[in-house]
Amino acid sequence: MSSNLTRRTDPLDDFFRGFFVRPVDFGGGPLANAGVEAPQMRVDVKETSEGYEVHAELPGMKKEDIHVHIDGPVVSISAERKQEKEVKEGEKVLRTERYFGKVSRSFQLGQEIDEAKAAAKFKDGVLELSLPKKAEAQAKRLTID
């Protein structure tokens, strides 16, 4: 005996289904419980004969909360967004989808960076680094007296 069951759904059920989804905890820390995913820092690195150009997307960050550290060929970028608590009396926050916390990336380039000539700019949520290559030390042949 075969059964042909048809399920009738209300179009409004389908429309509202995605609005009130409960967050799922995958054990990713305190933000996983809130349904908020920690942002990823997207980074583009380009090499020229003179150096490296790095563009890192840091939307919503302030330039004073961004730190760049150079150690030879290793570049580290970190940023921290602090939560500004402004809850008025009688208000109840039902949901927030803004991330507050720290994000960082480190990567190794093919050659050491000349830290003295390195430059950084931050505009419209994008950090731009200009990282000139350090001149390679030339091997010197000693003459024996």
Beta bridge partners of 134: none
Residue 109 covered by a domain:
yes
Residue 44 covered by a domain:
yes
pLDDT greater at residue 3 or residue 105: 105
Q: What would the DSSP string read from start to end of 65-117?
A: GEEEEEETTEEEEEEEE-------TT----------EEEEEEEE-SS-B-GGG
pLDDT greater at residue 81 or residue 124: 124
Residue 126 covered by a domain:
yes
Q: Report pLDDT for 108.
A: 93
CA–CA distance, 46 with 128 (Å, rounded to integer): 11
pLDDT greater at residue 141 or residue 16: 141
Residue 2 covered by a domain:
no
Q: Following CA atoms 25, 30, 34, 39 in sequence, which dihedral angle do they give, to the nearest 10 degrees?
A: -100
CA geometry: angle 84, 65, 125, nearest 5 deg: 90
Residue 6 covered by a domain:
no
CATH of the domain at 105: 2.60.40.790
CA 135 vs. chain centroid, Å, equals 31
Q: What is the pLDDT averaged over residues 58-65?
A: 88
Lowest mean pLDDT among 2-6, 69-73, 107-111: 2-6
The number of distinct structural domains making up the chain is: 1
Residue 50 covered by a domain:
yes
Q: Report pLDDT for 145.
A: 82
Residue 145 covered by a domain:
no
CA–CA distance, 28 with 38 (Å, rounded to integer): 9
Give the domain range for residue 124.
39-84+99-132
What is this structure's pTM?
0.61
Residue 142 covered by a domain:
no
Give every CB contact of residue 103 below 8 A, 6+ residues apart in sequence: 38, 39, 40, 41, 58, 78, 79, 80
